[in-house]
Structure 1
Amino acid sequence: MRHISSTLATLAAAGVLALAVPGSAYATNGFLVIDGIVHTRPSGCIEIPQLSSVFNVTDVPALVHNVPGCAGGVVQIIPPGLAVQVPGTHSIFLG
């Protein structure tokens, strides 16, 4: 009986902790248009495999990285409401 109550207490504590920690990912408001394709409420890293036209219609700046995976340095910032050409083998981070 003691083992069961200990297990239940541990599970209850884990549940409370899971609900108390907010999620780190959140989607932006608006959309991102890459070569005519609309990405609604984008968040995180988006790969740009080829020369692309990117129109940022979100509420946050889009950060252009010089390598895929958003691991390289930021080489350009696309403010909300601006469209730019992004070279291939780059990535964009939003959020």
Structure 2
Amino acid sequence: MRRISSTLTVLAAAGLLALTVPGPASATNGFLRIGGVVHNHPLGCYEVVQLSTVLNFTDVPVRIHNVPGCQGSVVQILPPGLAAQVPGTHSILVEDPLGPVG
């Protein structure tokens, strides 16, 4: 049952990505949801202050760092359309698909 639920979540995410309206050229398409807070067309570093489910509904993979400020080691790369549990004191980097952040 859990496997079916995970499959349905991924399919729903893919459907949402297909329906996403393109955003500005300097940001990602879609949204990033961290613990229930939605960030539309995310770009840059986002702090995870407590254990949270992170949903990547963007068109780029995001990097999960083991410390705040998107410093330290990358502990996971979360591809588009997937979700992960992320501990507090971590951070998430969303890079511009057209070039480096900054």
- Same fold (TM > 0.5): yes
Counterparts of 1:80-91 in structure 2, within 5 Å, are 80-91=80-91
Identity %: 67
In structure 2, how many angstroms separate the alpha carbons of the residues matched to 1:84 and 1:67?
A: 16
Secondary structure, counterpart of 1:69 in structure 2: helix
Match of 1:35 in 2: 35
Over alpha carbons, which structure has the higher Rg? Answer: 1
In structure 2, how many angstroms separate the alpha carbons of the residues matched to 1:84 and 1:46?
A: 15
For normalisation by structure 2, the TM-score amounts to 0.67
In structure 1, how many angstroms separate the alpha carbons of the residues matched to 2:48 and 2:33?
A: 12
Secondary structure, counterpart of 1:81 in structure 2: coil
Match of 1:53 in 2: 53
In structure 2, how many angstroms separate the alpha carbons of the residues matched to 1:42 and 1:76?
A: 18
Match of 2:76 in 1: 76
Secondary structure, counterpart of 2:69 in structure 1: helix
How many residues align? The count is: 70
1:44 aligns with 2:44: yes
Q: Structure 1 regions of 5+ residues with no counterpart?
A: 1-25
The offset of 1:27, in angstroms, is 1.5
Cα offsets for 1:2-43 (capped at 9, x unmatched): xxxxxxxxxxxxxxxxxxxxxxxx311110011111100000
In structure 1, how many angstroms separate the alpha carbons of the residues matched to 2:60 and 2:86?
A: 17
RMSD: 0.7
